[in-house]
Amino acid sequence: MKQKLLDQKHLGIAIKQVLAEVNMTQTALADQAGIPRNTLNRKINVGIFNFDELRRIAYAVQRPLSSIVAAAERLDSAEYDDVR
């Protein structure tokens, strides 16, 4: 079975969802994760992060990184199923 690559935008959407769940702003996340706010906003909208940034985001929102990636994969699968 061929595995589909995760669409980058879904990672940003998953991070936005986690922020809403923990009632945290992007500004607060930027401060806690040590990522400039403008950079974080751009990366969330595009969905491109390096591993260290994702690790720091997960720590700041007190969630396992795997749960954030799993949420992005669920979003990706739902969209893929809608297209098929």
- Three-state SS at 4: coil
Q: Give the model's pLDDT for residue 1.
A: 43
Rounded to whole angstroms, the Cα distance separating 55 from 62 reads 10
How do residues 53-74 score in pLDDT, each as one tens digit?
999 999 999 999 999 999 999 9
**DSSP-derived secondary structure letter, 70:** H
Q: If you search the block for the tokens 């990366």, which residue do you land on?
A: 43
The reported pTM is: 0.85
Residue 11 has what pLDDT? 93
- Is residue 65 within a helix (H) or strand (E), and if so which, with residue range? helix 65-83
- Whole-angstrom distance, CA of residue 60 vs CA of residue 57: 5
Superfamily of domain 8-83: lambda repressor-like DNA-binding domains (1.10.260.40)
| pLDDT, position 7 | 79
pLDDT of 58 reads 98
The residues of the chain scoring below 50 in pLDDT are 1
